[in-house]
Structure 1
Amino acid sequence: MREKIHIFDTTLRDGEQSPGCSLNIQEKLKIAKRLELLRVDVIEAGFAIASPGDFASVKAIAETVKDCRVASLSRVLKKDIDAAWEAIKMAAAPRIHTFIATSDIHMQYKLKMSPDAVLQQAVDGVKYAKGFCNDVEFSAEDASRSNPEFLYRIFEAVIKAGATVINVPDTVGYTMPEEFFKLIKGIKENVSNIDKATISVHCHNDLGMAVANTIAAAKAGATQLECTINGIGERAGNAALEELVMTFHTRRDLYNYDLNIDTTQIYPTSRLVSKLTGVKVQPNKAIVGNNAFAHESGIHQHGVLANRETYEIMTPESVGLTQNKMVLGKHSGRHAFEDRLKDLGYQLPKVDIDKIFDDFKLLADKKKVVYDGDLEALVQNKNGVQKEVYKLKEFVINSGNLITATATIKLSKDGEEMTCASTGDGPVDAALKAVDNMIDDHFVLEEYSLNAVSEGKDAQGEVIVRISSNKTNRLYLGRGLSTDIVESSIKAYLNAINKLLNELEFHGEVKLNEK
């Protein structure tokens, strides 16, 4: 009989903690809905007490997702647990995930608590959480560097207190597969009531071992595996969901496990997370990289043409890639357009398809061929902010190598239009300065990147920016898309500013100056 493995996705909690990966509520909901389509067993929606924004997004996900468990992280503190429960209580299947550090170095220098005090606080926290929610997960932070005997004691105590899942994190990515196998096996053999709880693991990738360590833990008896899409997360990231799932899927001869995952949703989920976080997937990334199913050398191409299994151990279709090469252009109809979106893994409501189809037609007038990358970019471009405060109406650029670049920008806000001109060191600099002058505020452009989303000289350019402001201590990501890179730049800049404005309005904080 095949053993059931549960996939616990922490993209929206640990993944979002990656520098620059901050997401707004709408973006988190988009990812949560995609994770639901992927059929993960648990979505860790966030750390409810971390901020009002985190609380609101966890609550929104809990109220929206119906086919997955929804968890919120909390320390073993009553105020954390209260916030977690308040955020997830409307979920179809809520879980409180509480934790405390258990390694000597963490207890001595971070917590400044004795092992006995840590154990008591863990038990008290689990008991308190159990009063709200039947499903309680307890994590021993830095477990892989903890004294195994202490882990046995604390796990036995929290299970007795009501924990249904005990999690063994390799918090700093320190352990090796053989060590981690031994640790999980030791927990199974030395925690007397371990049969009353699920063993979970959460591995980081600091030494590149996250996936290998997670697999070793599964072989030793762990049945919940915590991971993220594209392996994003703190520092070097977490175990990558797509790598774990496709390892078990491809090597069924070695791993006798059943997973609930719909593997055909892996690629579109990966692309969505990459687009919304602004974190690119490296081309040679396993499973979801652009080169994962690409063959350039003559020997490889010859083999694949003769039999794909010569160089492909899984099919592109199995992870949600399509081999359909149908070309879309300005004469393509709505039926072909919708079929292509479905082939790419997008299941959208009619109102969104209508909007994207209109954008597609406008793009097709500018380009001879609309590629898959163009379509994906159009879809992702609809994942906007809550409210588009400032909108781009017109822009005129004068630039050259013998003149100072000048930009004249017209924006609209609440139905009123405003125009400003500015000079700068190039057309993009001039345009963004004109925007700053109209909004009467100064933003710091922390990061700017430009990428072609498809092939050809007429490719759409996607600009990704990250800005900061003295109004908050966060970075705001903006995306803009156009066949004109100056227009892409202005749209991306406004997208980030609008996110900032939405957050300030959501929290009832002071707004930016207005003209």
Structure 2
Amino acid sequence: MTKRIHIFDTTLRDGEQAPGASLSPEQKIVIAKHLADLGVDVIEPGFPISSPGDFMAVQRISQEVHGVEICGFARAVKEDIDAAVRATQAAERRRLHMFLSSSSIHLDFQLRKSREQVIKIAREMIAYGKQFVDRIEFSPMDATRTGDEFLFEMIEAAIEEGATIINIPDTVGYALPEEYGAMFTRVMKNVRGSDKVEFSAHCHNDLGLAVANSLAAIRAGVTQVEVTVNGVGERAGNCSLEELVMAIETRKEALDAETGIRPEHIYTTSQKVSRAMSFPIAFNKPIVGRNAFQHEAGIHQDGLLKERSTYEIMDPESLGVPRNMIILGKHSGRHAIKHRVNEFGIQLTDEQMEDLYVQFKELADKQKVVQDHQLLELVGHTVNAVLEPFTLVNAQVLTGTSGHRMASCTITNNVTGEEQAYSGTGEGPVEALVAGIKQALPFDVWSLRTWSCIHCRRESMRQAKRS
């Protein structure tokens, strides 16, 4: 029977701890609603004791976001627990997530407490939290650098006091996949009461192994994985939600697992988090990066044009990813160039195509990507014709510190050969210039972005010819 993996999202807590990633309460609420639409099972909206803003964000998300479990984060300290309990009071479903260091390096240099003292604190604080919340998640921090004997003792004490979810974190991203999976196996086998609780994985990405370690934990029997959108988080970040979810979705049969995530919301949520945190997404980032579903190599382009699955294991459209599959550059072949030219409704003879290919390669060697307007210019040279229906000959803009901006432009209709001047006004110089340009076009244009897209170019050519 396929195992259901619960997705615990900590973008708004652990993700926000990345330097420079701070979010306002309003931004957190918007992102939390996106996460609910995405289908995550648990949202950890923040650290309530850390600031009034974080407390308010957790409180409002508990009140306004429905259909998910809300988690209050706390150290094993009464004041933290009280704040987390108060902040999540209005949630439809809630849990308390409590953490306490377990490794010798943390106990000796950070907490400066003995193992006996730490076990006593864990027991007392879990028992205290249990008075208010039924579902308590306990995390022995830096578990992967804690020896088995003490880790077993600490987890066993937590279960005895009422913890219902045991999260075993790789806090510093130290573990290898085989080590992390085996640790869960040993815990489940040797800790009394382990059959009565859920187990969770929380991996950091310091060695680039967060997703691999999380998958190893799933194979070992874990039913919850803690993730962040875009893999944001302290240092090198956390296990990436989109990477983990699509690894499970794509290799569902091999992993015998599934999630409740709605893939069509992945890209939108990724973009929302990236903009809110002002964290750009790397071009080669799996799933949501700009290049994740784009291809320049001629061999790849040829295969994709014949059958998408030759070089793509996921369907980007199903993830809500808008993309132009083929990027024209120096590695592109004849098939891809011909395909793009055909998209403009232009048919070339074999001789013309060969001439275009030579010109294209010369241009592509000088720059990274050949844009559509440059390709059309090359085609125009090849067939000895101007293919763009209109040419902007001249443009002038008059601007100032207040009032409307004014612009004038001269445009040539390449179908009729007529050249004419136009003027326009707007709130800004670009809007004024667009207002002038629109007067020359025999159809509605609502934005420069629309004008630049392939569909609009095709339509402009057709309508210009008809007129």
1:39-74 superposed Cα distances (whole Å, 9 cap, x missing partner): 100000100000111101110111111111011110
How far is 1:458 from its partner? 9.3
Note if contact 2:294-2:324 (Cα within 8 Å) is conserved in structure 1.
Answer: no
How far is 1:114 from its partner? 0.7
Between the aligned partners of 1:131 and 1:138, the Cα distance in structure 2 is 15
Between the aligned partners of 1:308 and 1:135, the Cα distance in structure 2 is 46
Q: Would you say 1:84 and 2:74 are equivalent positions?
A: no
**Counterpart in the other structure of 1:20:** 20
Q: Residues 145-294 of structure 1: matches in 2 within 5 Å?
A: 145-294=145-294
Between the aligned partners of 2:69 and 2:182, the Cα distance in structure 1 is 29
**Counterpart in the other structure of 2:99:** 99
Note if contact 2:44-2:70 (Cα within 8 Å) is conserved in structure 1.
Answer: yes
How far is 1:218 from its partner? 0.8
Between the aligned partners of 1:11 and 1:215, the Cα distance in structure 2 is 19
Q: Would you say 1:306 and 2:302 are equivalent positions?
A: no
Note if contact 2:293-2:323 (Cα within 8 Å) is conserved in structure 1.
Answer: no
How far is 1:322 from its partner? 4.3
Task: Classify the secondary structure of the residue corresponding to 2:255.
Answer: coil
Query: What count of residue pairs does the alignment treat as equivalent?
Result: 335
Between the aligned partners of 2:227 and 2:87, the Cα distance in structure 1 is 22
Amino acid at match of 1:192: R
Q: Would you say 1:55 and 2:46 are equivalent positions?
A: no
Between the aligned partners of 2:137 and 2:89, the Cα distance in structure 1 is 15
**Counterpart in the other structure of 2:109:** 109
Between the aligned partners of 1:395 and 1:70, the Cα distance in structure 2 is 49
**Counterpart in the other structure of 1:503:** none
How far is 1:324 from its partner? 9.7
Between the aligned partners of 1:121 and 1:80, the Cα distance in structure 2 is 14
Q: Would you say 1:46 and 2:72 are equivalent positions?
A: no
Between the aligned partners of 1:395 and 1:185, the Cα distance in structure 2 is 68
Gaps of 5+ in 1: 326-393, 397-453, 460-515
Q: Residues 306-455 of structure 1: matches in 2 within 5 Å?
A: 306-322=306-322, 395=401
Moved more, 252-261 or 263-272: 252-261
Amino acid at match of 1:266: I
**Counterpart in the other structure of 1:297:** 297
Query: Which of the pair has more CA radius of gyration?
Result: 2
Amino acid at match of 2:48: A
Amino acid at match of 2:246: M
How far is 1:395 from its partner? 3.5
1:469-488 superposed Cα distances (whole Å, 9 cap, x missing partner): xxxxxxxxxxxxxxxxxxxx
1:108-142 superposed Cα distances (whole Å, 9 cap, x missing partner): 11011111110110111111111101111001100
Note if contact 2:47-2:73 (Cα within 8 Å) is conserved in structure 1.
Answer: yes
Amino acid at match of 2:266: I
Change (3 A) 1:192 1:60: same
Between the aligned partners of 1:281 and 1:324, the Cα distance in structure 2 is 18
Between the aligned partners of 2:74 and 2:401, the Cα distance in structure 1 is 48
1:358-411 superposed Cα distances (whole Å, 9 cap, x missing partner): xxxxxxxxxxxxxxxxxxxxxxxxxxxxxxxxxxxx846xxxxxxxxxxxxxxx
How far is 1:222 from its partner? 1.0
Change (3 A) 1:395 1:203: farther
Between the aligned partners of 1:256 and 1:320, the Cα distance in structure 2 is 25
Q: Normalising to structure 2: TM-score of the pair?
A: 0.70
Task: Classify the secondary structure of the residue corresponding to 2:280.
Answer: coil
How far is 1:318 from its partner? 2.2
How far is 1:298 from its partner? 1.2
Note if contact 2:203-2:238 (Cα within 8 Å) is conserved in structure 1.
Answer: yes
**Counterpart in the other structure of 1:128:** 128
Task: Classify the secondary structure of the residue corresponding to 2:267.
Answer: helix
How far is 1:258 from its partner? 2.3
How far is 1:150 from its partner? 0.9
1:400-445 superposed Cα distances (whole Å, 9 cap, x missing partner): xxxxxxxxxxxxxxxxxxxxxxxxxxxxxxxxxxxxxxxxxxxxxx
Between the aligned partners of 1:311 and 1:13, the Cα distance in structure 2 is 37
Which has the larger strand fraction?
1
Q: Percent same amino acid among aligned pairs?
A: 49
1:122-175 superposed Cα distances (whole Å, 9 cap, x missing partner): 111111111101111001100010111111111111111111101111101111
Task: Classify the secondary structure of the residue corresponding to 2:236.
Answer: coil
Between the aligned partners of 2:280 and 2:401, the Cα distance in structure 1 is 29
Note if contact 2:288-2:321 (Cα within 8 Å) is conserved in structure 1.
Answer: no
**Counterpart in the other structure of 1:3:** 3
Note if contact 2:180-2:217 (Cα within 8 Å) is conserved in structure 1.
Answer: yes
Gaps of 5+ in 2: 326-399, 403-447, 454-467
Task: Classify the secondary structure of the residue corresponding to 1:184.
Answer: helix
Amino acid at match of 1:219: R
**Counterpart in the other structure of 1:141:** 141
